[in-house]
Amino acid sequence: MPSRELRSLPPSPLLSPPHVHRQSHNLLPPLAGGIAAAASLLILFTFCFRKISLKRTVPSSDSESKPPHRFSYTSLRRATSKFSPSLRLGQGGFGSVYRGTVKSPTTNSNVSVAVKGEREFQNELFFAGKIDSKYIVSTIGFSSDKRGRRMLLVYELLANGSLQDCLLHRKCSELKDWKKRLSIALDIAKGLEYLHHFCDPPAIHGDIKPSNILLDDNFNAKIGDFGLARLKGGGISSTPSMRGTVCYVAPEYGSCGDLSEKCDVYSYGVLLLVLIAGRRPLQVTGSPMSEFQRANLLSWARHLARAGKLLDLVDQTVESLDKEQALLSITVALLCLQKSPARRPSMKEVVGMLSGDLEAPQLPVELSPSPPSRFPIKSHKKVR
């Protein structure tokens, strides 16, 4: 809190000339009372300020954040059997990802990890030391030589891989369960809520998409890949050039390169529709015209909203569908996809709406069915 200058105080009655001594004695009781009251207020203010500060600092996990451990390149080479092709988990623009086993820096026991080369090594390492949440992939350590070569990052290994692989490629049977999809949507929303509202300064991920969401043994979701992340300082952070994945990039970021929390909100809206529909944002099959109209998922969702047929968007393979929750989820996604950043909800509001802690939202006016109709969404039903 900035310090304020103290104004000069009037001369103290205790230093008054001798001829006003009787008057000064009369002033002593109120002066003492005033000093005591001021001291009490100061103590109360300090106590309140400390309570407010502590309330704002939300613990992200049971343990305090610790800096990543430095591994030797040799130890990581050994952990991955000399980067054996049989241990390769995937390939990307950054290089390959390998499964490995290393000694945990904290428990000294063997742990399975994912080892990858990283194009945005410094950025990833910077955020690894600042972020600690059960909704974010943990960075265990890194390796880098003095010349800045052989830069590797070591992450916790999440057994079920990326959401993109599980939902769109392998089509895991576990994701046919509606409750599991909604649970994944909430995990991702809570991860973004942590970045935007509980990090100081707020962190903006900048590249939310299914391939950057990883799933553990129980299909709990965690946000990974902070290569394009930025800290928000004072206003909107700006990057030299627009980066990210086209279908998931907010319009304002694509046009002028301004990156804010509301860009993450937009990307989350796209991802939520993908999770509900079980398909990519753009999917051209070249079949009949009816299929061609569905090619752009966002346009198709808006069309269905105006027609009052939102449930037609839901993946037909989903089992045990809760129609009420599905309508709520699609409505939240469309709110996140509004062109104006100011009209999009915050991630704290998204979490509240999806979990049932906030009143169920209505569709934006421009997407309301004509003639208007109210969807049967109830706000009291909480997601467990």
Mean pLDDT value across residues 346-373: 87
CA distances (Å), origin 269, targets 144, 158, 195, 263, 301 = 37, 24, 17, 10, 11
Mean pLDDT value across residues 61-68: 58
315 counts as catalytic: no
CB-based contact 140:111 (threshold 8 Å): yes
Where is 334: in which H helix or E strand? helix 323-336
Q: For the chain, what percent of residues have pLDDT higher than 90?
A: 51
Count of H helices and E strands in the chain? 11, 12
Q: What's the pTM?
A: 0.77
Mean pLDDT of the chain: 79
Helices 261-277, 178-193: axis angle to 10 degrees equals: 170
Q: Which pLDDT belongs to residue 41?
A: 36
Q: Which pLDDT belongs to residue 348?
A: 98
Instruction: Return the higher-pLDDT residue of 191 and 237.
Output: 191
Question: Rounded distance, CA 87 to CA 79, Å?
Answer: 10
CA 165, 167, 173, 177 dihedral sign is: positive
Lowest mean per-residue pLDDT among 97-106, 273-282, 328-337: 97-106
Binding annotation: 116
Whether the pLDDT of residue 98 is over 70: the answer is yes
Question: Rounded distance, CA 226 to CA 365, Å?
Answer: 35
Q: Which pLDDT belongs to residue 238?
A: 42
Bridging pattern class, strands 203-204 and 230-231: antiparallel
Whether the pLDDT of residue 2 is over 70: the answer is no
> What length is written for the chain?
384
Q: Which pLDDT belongs to residue 8?
A: 37
Mean pLDDT value across residues 104-124: 80
Q: How many CB atoms lie within 10 A of CB 318?
A: 18
Instruction: Return the higher-pLDDT residue of 355 and 61.
Output: 355
- What the chain holds in terms of domains, given with CATH numbers, is 69-156 (3.30.200.20), 163-367 (1.10.510.10)
Nearest CA to 169 out of 280, 301, 89 is that of: 280
Q: For the chain, what percent of residues have pLDDT higher than 70?
A: 71
pLDDT tens digits for range 278-287: 999 998 766 6
Bridging pattern class, strands 139-143 and 69-70: parallel
Question: Within 13 Å, how many C-alpha atoms sit on residue 173's CB side?
Answer: 0
Q: Which one from 187, 207, 225, 315 is the annotated catalytic residue?
A: 207
Whether the pLDDT of residue 95 is over 50: the answer is yes
